[in-house]
Structure 1
Amino acid sequence: MSRKYISTLKSGETVEEVFLVLKKEVRETREKKPYLNLQLADKSGFIEARKWDAARQLCDSFHKDEFIKIKGVVETFNNTLQIRINELCPVAEMQVTMGEFIPSTEKDIPGMMNELKQVIKTIQDTYLSRLLNALFSDESFCKIFSTVPAAMQNHHAFLGGLLEHTLSVTKLAISFSNHYPEIKRDLLITGVILHDIGKTRELSCERSFQYTDEGQLTGHLASGIVIIYEKALKIENFPPDLLNILFHLVLSHHGEYEWGSPVKPGIPEAIALHHLDNLDAKIQAATRAIVEHKDTNSLWTDYVKMFERRLYKK
């Protein structure tokens, strides 16, 4: 029997499936009776769920980032689908296939990685080429780079998201550098490939996406600088000025102080990197917001925090 994914659920239908618990709150009704307020997920998306009249023993029987099997009914509340749970029970991790619960890129990961490596072969600057090859000839690094998401939720928040986003911005950078010949192509493309490299240390994705200790303490900009420095240190006579420019590309790519950049873009390649990165992230986020919006009666999405507005779907 095929699985019923969250993205296919419709109001009024019954559902009996296993889900990953993204969020769990034990609340009380006005009558002081406990109930469960949950956010459940599979690889197609997430949905809010409620279990009324939940005994304490049931509330304590599972935790966030664990699996439960539910029986319930899909309902519409404030034009949004949610599940009213009638029955639930914990499910052991060994009984589930993890690929059913964590969203993943729909694109071919080995194919994307190969395409990125082909671009790296076109880099003519000796030091930039050696730096990129030092990173992407490391199989363990490539495995992490091609697995982690690009973000927790705003854009490319799925397995393979970092690779998909990096390759997409790289393609934009190639077109951009062809259009503006005064842009240093090798520098821009290297900056693009390295700009989010710290996310290989910032994010983990064993079940739901989480920040690592390093990610919470320093963030991906600082981690990216450390990774670049560690590799450049092993390359004989790597030019200090070039290393500082690479640091600048990474540190400035958010573009504004209020967006997390410790410095603003100060060279044309950094300005280009910021805007190309921002463009790719926002187009992917806007497309996802429209596709995943569940209210088919509305031509507008709900309020999207990234854009501070609703988006028109028609």
Structure 2
Amino acid sequence: MKYIESLREGERINEVYLCKQKQSALTKAGKPYDNVILQDKTGTLDAKIWEPGSVGIDEFDSLDYIAVMGDVTSFQGALQLNVKRVRKVQEGEYDPKDYLPVSQYDVEEMYKELLSYINSMENPYLKQLAGSFFVEDEDFAKRFKFHSAAKTVHHGFVGGLLDHTLGVTRHCNYFASAYPMLNRDLLLAAAMFHDIGKLEELSVFPENDYTDEGQLLGHIMIGAEMVGERIRTIPDFPVRLGNELKHCILAHHGELEYGSPKKPALAEAVALSFADNFDAKMETIKELFNSAPEGSTEWLGYNRLLESNIRKSSK
């Protein structure tokens, strides 16, 4: 397979890609054409179908896998595909793993490490609660391993939610060892649960877009509700402990202007908000560096999450 990142101007290709987006438009002369965004696991490519409906141009929609034949050109400094032929392909003609961005780490190994933190918990109620999701609920575990942590900002790839959650849990485990005043089990449980609402906030790949529930409620509220519902199935779960855990989830963005319904009022909530913020920003920088030309020390441009122009440091 010819991955998008390896394409060069002047090539003619005949490959299968995921149609991430398709939109009809008109040229300045009023002639219809189609704007198409193609995707594989290495990136996206702008494509144009200048004569939709002509021979060799079959019908297809966004999120279909399509076989395209065309010429790679350049427009305003970016590669573009001039599509000559296109058809919708059937299951068996492609492997979805080739078309979706995925974590660089092994999903099963990451999940195994996450479970080790549950096994290390001493509080029976928090251990049972975490186990009821990550160990006993097979559907939840399957979805959690596959889901992304964001649409575009950070960890927006298959396995991204697990990757981010494990990173935050690692940081929180360190915080608990460095600051004994922290309730380790509460902090670890909060780290594991802080983003589970994203399972409902974002649709699954390849769409990976905000759901109606996600738009109306957001993952923080959804996650707190999911945890609250499961707590009510565990006999004698301490009300005070449940409220502390839900508070950490509700406050994990740290500030009201960043989307948290509550500001952190517990030491564990403060620690979680820093761990979440740190992991998100380090991943954002890593993704910026990975997209930069090899060996480059040029400025990479303003980043909204980091609120700064970024470049690599000198060797």
Superposition TM-score, scaled by structure 1 size: 0.90
Aligned position for 1:271? 270
Aligned position for 2:239? 240
Q: Deviations over 1:211-255 (max 9, x none)?
A: 344333322122212221122112221111111111111111112
- When residues 297 and 132 of structure 1 are mapped into structure 2, their CA distance, relative to the original with a 3 A threshold, is closer
Q: Deviations over 1:163-195 (max 9, x none)?
A: 111111111111122122222222111110110
Shift of 1:148: 0.8
The answer on whether the counterparts of 2:56 and 2:85 sit within 8 Å (CA) in structure 1 is no
Letter in 2 for 1:163: L
Aligned position for 2:11? 13
Letter in 2 for 1:187: L
Q: Distance in 1 between matches of 2:293 and 2:47?
A: 15
Shift of 1:290: 2.5
Aligned position for 1:155? 154
Aligned position for 1:48? 46
Q: Deviations over 1:145-171 (max 9, x none)?
A: 111111112111111111111111111
The answer on whether the counterparts of 1:34 and 1:56 sit within 8 Å (CA) in structure 2 is no
Letter in 2 for 1:242: L
Q: Deviations over 1:52-71 (max 9, x none)?
A: 24348988811111122222
Q: Distance in 1 between matches of 2:258 and 2:50?
A: 41
Aligned position for 1:69? 67
**Structure 1, 112-121 or 202-211: larger mean CA deviation:** 202-211
Q: Deviations over 1:97-136 (max 9, x none)?
A: 2222122222221211111111111111222112112222
- When residues 4 and 59 of structure 1 are mapped into structure 2, their CA distance, relative to the original with a 3 A threshold, is closer
Letter in 1 for 2:79: L
Aligned position for 1:312? 311
Partner secondary structure for residue 284 of structure 1: helix
CA RMSD of aligned residues (A): 2.4
Matched residues, number: 312
Q: Deviations over 1:184-210 (max 9, x none)?
A: 222111110110011222223253313
Aligned position for 2:176? 177
- When residues 297 and 163 of structure 1 are mapped into structure 2, their CA distance, relative to the original with a 3 A threshold, is closer
Matched, 1:210 2:201: no
- When residues 117 and 38 of structure 1 are mapped into structure 2, their CA distance, relative to the original with a 3 A threshold, is same
- When residues 177 and 214 of structure 1 are mapped into structure 2, their CA distance, relative to the original with a 3 A threshold, is same
**Structure 1, 188-197 or 12-21: larger mean CA deviation:** 12-21
Q: Distance in 1 between matches of 2:282 and 2:206?
A: 26
- When residues 296 and 17 of structure 1 are mapped into structure 2, their CA distance, relative to the original with a 3 A threshold, is farther
Partner secondary structure for residue 9 of structure 2: coil
Q: Distance in 1 between matches of 2:210 and 2:57?
A: 26
Partner secondary structure for residue 230 of structure 1: helix
Letter in 2 for 1:260: G
Aligned position for 1:96? 94
% identical aligned pairs:
38
The answer on whether the counterparts of 2:251 and 2:262 sit within 8 Å (CA) in structure 1 is yes
Unaligned runs of 5+ in 2: none
Partner secondary structure for residue 52 of structure 2: coil
The answer on whether the counterparts of 2:147 and 2:205 sit within 8 Å (CA) in structure 1 is no
Q: Distance in 2 between matches of 1:245 and 1:235?
A: 16
Counterpart pick for 2:121 among 117, 120, 123? 123
Partner secondary structure for residue 70 of structure 1: strand
The answer on whether the counterparts of 2:3 and 2:40 sit within 8 Å (CA) in structure 1 is yes
Matched, 1:252 2:226: no
Partner secondary structure for residue 95 of structure 1: coil
Q: Distance in 1 between matches of 2:204 and 2:174?
A: 32
Q: Distance in 2 between matches of 1:296 and 1:64?
A: 36
Letter in 1 for 2:216: L
Shift of 1:28: 0.9
Q: Distance in 2 between matches of 1:198 and 1:57?
A: 46
Superposition TM-score, scaled by structure 2 size: 0.90
Q: Distance in 1 between matches of 2:179 and 2:56?
A: 62
Aligned position for 2:112? 114
Q: Distance in 1 between matches of 2:308 and 2:11?
A: 31
Q: Distance in 2 between matches of 1:245 and 1:57?
A: 63
Partner secondary structure for residue 119 of structure 1: helix
Letter in 1 for 2:209: Q
Q: Distance in 2 between matches of 1:270 and 1:56?
A: 59
